[in-house]
Amino acid sequence: MTTRKLKNFEFAGQTLTESSNQKQIHAFDAFDTPNGFVFLVTGSDRVPESTEQICQTAGQRVRYYFENEQIDDPLEAVRNSLVYVNGYLYELARKQPGLGINHTCMLCVLVRDKKVYYSWMGDVFLFYFNGKKINPLITFEKERGLENEYLGSRQFAEPRVCEKAFVPVDHDVLLMASGSSWTEMREKSLLGVLTDNMPTTTKVQKLVKLAGTALPYCHLAAQMISFYNLEDNLRNDPQSKSRNAMPGKRVGKSGKSGWQVSQNVKIMIVILGILALSYMIYDLFLFDPERPLNRDVPTQVEPITEREQPEQPAEIAEPHTPANLPDDVRYSVRRGDTWSRIYQQFEVCSWFIRNHPPNAGKFDNSGNPVFNTVLMIPVMYSGSQTLNPDFYQEFSTEKLGNACQNANEAFLRRFRELTGQ
């Protein structure tokens, strides 16, 4: 159980884990970030012993994303976080085939500027209670004709995202959950708890217990958020036009109310998908841990693997036959350029460019390339055979790491010893 009270809301979370032969681990988390306050529920009913590790890893990567990236658009933030986690788990499963990532779900809720944004993958549940009735925002009911995407199921799986923010008013209650038990609960049972005048912590405990009774031997997780001290007195409900949840029906069987996705949001998702994919590639490929940067969209590159700890500088191979090192290439930074885009053109890690003496003072405060600045690209450190025919193998991803994590002074010193610089 976790509970906390803040200026405009209080929240509490609870999991239920029963002994059974099925491996069903669910988890929740809540934390403050520069992008707003983030709530998560994660879980799976169909994975082996590694489930707990997978859920923990997924939660850690969402926290990492929100703490290191400043995103102006909250809808983009919640969606991108799941794009990033999905790509990370996909690559993790590719590296460890026996890991068994399968049917892993996640719901990410962001509270920012007193508005609620959310994105999800897999079987999760989200509704708000207005003091009288339950109003589903997400249910387990699959929208006809749409594939239900799970985390790590494929490299470029597409998360669902709310069409617009949910704007709560005082006394609104938001419940987010994972686990099959919630589909078996009836609104009457939920209303009995929600309308009772009891603390948020107690309500969550009672609801989790009820859900566990509805479908024994299933694991589940839930978080409840109760809002107060809000200036707005007009609620904005993004699902109001499509709701069809009536008392007496199972909460998980509410027709189109939870999964209704308009054509507009589908178009927006496609556009944001191209933008958001850059973060996953950036973090898995070119991330510099000392300077977290916001990235524009790079051209799609081949799948790469993530690192957890910086590797030790790779050993430089035995000296080659002496050869002339290629001269620097002049490059004028174009509008919207990122380190990822520059790498794709020259295959030179950003560390070498930023620390190349002719480029001193040519970057902004975050270490980004500045539009219209002329950079000298040291292609002597390139992994391209065309640009660096004699030494390109020394700068391959096998030597520098898939995220250029071995690009540092030690690596540079070894290369200079090799070439006699």
Residue 418 three-state SS: helix
12-68 residue pLDDT tens: 998 886 544 445 578 899 999 999 999 999 987 665 555 567 888 899 999 999 999
Whether 196 contacts 144, CB under 8 Å: no
Higher-confidence residue of 378 and 184: namely: 378
> What share of the chain has pLDDT > 90, as a percent?
33
Q: What is the pLDDT of residues 133-147, one digit of tens each?
A: 999 998 655 443 455
- How far is 373 from 318, CA to CA, in rounded Å? 37
Asked if residue 110 has pLDDT above 80, the reply is: yes
pLDDT of 231 reads 81
- Does position 315 have pLDDT exceeding 70, yes or no? no
What's the whole-number mean pLDDT along residues 197-209?
90
What torsion do the CA atoms of 247, 219, 126, 13 make, to the nearest 10 degrees?
Answer: 110
The residue type at 229: N
Domains and CATH numbers, the chain: 2-278 (3.60.40.10), 308-419 (no CATH)
Strand order across the beta sheet in which 104-112 lies: 25-33, 36-44, 104-112, 115-121, 160-161
Q: Are strands 115-121 and 104-112 parallel, antiparallel or unpaired?
A: antiparallel
For residues 185 and 250, is the Cβ–Cβ distance under 8 A?
yes
Listed range (98-102, 128-132, 185-189, 237-241) with the worst mean pLDDT: 237-241
pLDDT by residue (tens digit) across 327-352?
999 999 988 788 888 988 899 999 99
Average pLDDT over residues 373-380: 93
- Sequence letter at residue 129: F
CA distances from 353 to 308, 364, 400, 419 (A): 24, 14, 15, 19
Other Cβ atoms less than 10 A from the Cβ of 60: the count is 14
